[in-house]
Amino acid sequence: MNTITPTNTNIIRRGFTLIEILIVVVILGILAAVVVPQFTNASEDANDAAVRSQLQTLRGQIELYRAQVGSDPDLLTAGWDDMIEGNYLMVEPKNPLTESATSGSIAAAAADGVAWVWKDKSATNTTKGLFAGDDSEASFLFDE
């Protein structure tokens, strides 16, 4: 008896050619070159937003202290102690731009190692204001 076994020697095995794979790799490279630069400043933007938010909260707590106590907190000599002992703050604030959280990080002028600056709001307004300092520029940030 003659049995026919199905053996198909004409099976076509189709895969991707080298050219097709190279085109896909080039397209992915172009997309990566466009997308990656958009995220390079994300860390700096997040730190700026954190400092702005923290500065707004600190300024609000200092205003509350002024309203309840009738004077400014003594930030230059006592650091954050008045604010912490009076339950206006739970811990010493940390400036993400300088990563400094010691009481010595408060000064009357911007300098390296100074996280927070406690100074007159302007030449004509002698009310003290809190500003954020940046080690890299030794300048005031967010002078609002």
Who's near 96: CB < 8 A, 6+ residues apart? 47, 50, 51, 54
With beta carbons less than 8 A apart as the criterion, state whether 101 and 111 touch: no
Residue 126 CB neighbours (<10 A): 9
139 in Cβ contact with 110 (< 8 Å): yes
Please name the amino acid found at residue 20: E
Position 6 pLDDT exceeds 70: no
High-pLDDT (> 70) share of the chain, %: 79
Q: Give the pLDDT band (50/70/90) at residue 138.
A: very low
Mean pLDDT (the chain) is 80
pTM summary value = 0.65
